Structure 1
């Protein structure tokens, strides 16, 4: 009996250190942020103000601008999904040098975001490398202020995010395709199916669960993972055109705003991310 009890308890003993670390690093800070979002600081004294911080946050126009921009970034998800699936499908056919192409496509994903942001901020300046190439090619009319123009800044940042993230989707989808029964494609070839028909009727149905997983994960990233791009490339400008929730929290915390209001906005962001995580769990259970 003692041995059986020891076997039941031993796994929990092994995971206890990891659990304690997660508790200290994640759970305790979350509890602190949620608690402090109901307080305000006056003369180094915490005063309970209830929902006042949330009311002020909701009334702040910047919150809605940031949420709108995060929702715009959601448009990157279908683009990333379609392009990643298409590239993975081409590589799955094992064209000449496909392993090399797979590595090249995945390299941007492993690069540090600040490095990518700084490089592209120099490339996309009005007198940067990209515009210099356009001018040298006689395309002066296409040499635009990609990060300084209010109409172009957000699309430019979105393109950089897509360029960096696409490698993850390609490798993820390609790994799933490698486990698909080749007989399905061989039967389709015998029936004279085109590449597009095989893509729509075999590849997509067979990778459905991975596509759903990728979409939810990427949505969460577009909501709570793009701070570094914005901070390095545009600092939320021009005219708050690239402001997102993460950068708004940073500005409220360290840019002269109210630290407790920043915590309230953090809780709002946490709730939005939790909703997406809950959707992800429901989708995964449905697939199981």
Structure 2
């Protein structure tokens, strides 16, 4: 094979790579550049790390970070729900194909649509509280959206409900591709449902579970803006109880007209997300290579 023939495949994909580099790479470089400038309009003077110092000195930013970290608590719940539901569906209970469609519907629907519906359901006089009152559970009828104590947890319920649908489909696809002879043999030997789940199914699904965890971490850190914006009325409220880093960036750019601050916060979010993803993949690589 001549050197020119080796380069031929790369030449075919070069235009697409160049296009992707321009569409995604150039804006990323500009964000890094803007984070070191006091931008007014389309440019501004170089101020070094001043934007970062201002952000790190704001309590609002740290509240936003704390809220993102709180949302990470939803990941174990999502994994557990997705795993249990997918295993039940994989056992092909009556109507399992219909149930498979139903559980995936939330993920197909657009986030704003889901958030608007859930916001109406969780209003103080909404269907959720009305049902609780009808069941004589008045003490559980909370101001789910209007109370700063529970607003973030209400958003977390919505995220768990929608994002678990992706996990169910991923896990179910993996389960349907497994060799059923192992689980059948375990049944014959008297292994219970939980024993089969813990000792056979979960080890076989380790790779897809780790992949789902990585996707969920990215979601909780950098893809919850739509949930927060709709449920919080565009303000992250009440007060700043549901303010997350994405909303902090949005407010800095759109409402405060501070592109430099928004760029610096975006860079920090990008770097932290990248580091976490790298660590998660390193852990997975180490687990695969270990005996």
TM-score by length of 1: 0.93
Output aligned runs, 1:2-17, within 5 Å.
Answer: 4-17=2-15
Name 2:239's counterpart in structure 1: 239
Question: How many pairs were matched up?
Answer: 286
1:44/1:160 Cα in 2 relative to 1: closer, same or farther (>3 Å)? closer
Deviation at 1:124, TM superposition (A): 1.2
8 Å CA contact retained: 1:213, 1:284: no
CA RMSD of aligned residues (A): 1.8
Q: Residue 143 of structure 1 is aligned with which of 136, 141, 144?
A: 141
* Alpha-carbon distance between aligned partners in 1 of 2:77 and 2:137, rounded to the nearest angstrom: 27
Q: Residue 24 of structure 1 is aligned with which of 18, 22, 34?
A: 22
Name 1:154's counterpart in structure 2: 152
Unaligned runs of 5+ in 2: none
Output aligned runs, 1:89-100, within 5 Å.
Answer: 89-100=87-98
Name 1:278's counterpart in structure 2: 278
* Alpha-carbon distance between aligned partners in 1 of 2:155 and 2:42, rounded to the nearest angstrom: 39
TM-score by length of 2: 0.92
8 Å CA contact retained: 2:39, 2:258: no
8 Å CA contact retained: 2:64, 2:243: yes
* Alpha-carbon distance between aligned partners in 1 of 2:182 and 2:109, rounded to the nearest angstrom: 37
Unaligned runs of 5+ in 1: none
Name 2:262's counterpart in structure 1: 262
Deviation at 1:284, TM superposition (A): 4.7
8 Å CA contact retained: 2:107, 2:162: yes
* Alpha-carbon distance between aligned partners in 2 of 1:202 and 1:154, rounded to the nearest angstrom: 36
Q: Residue 38 of structure 2 is aligned with which of 28, 37, 40?
A: 40
* Alpha-carbon distance between aligned partners in 2 of 1:185 and 1:226, rounded to the nearest angstrom: 38
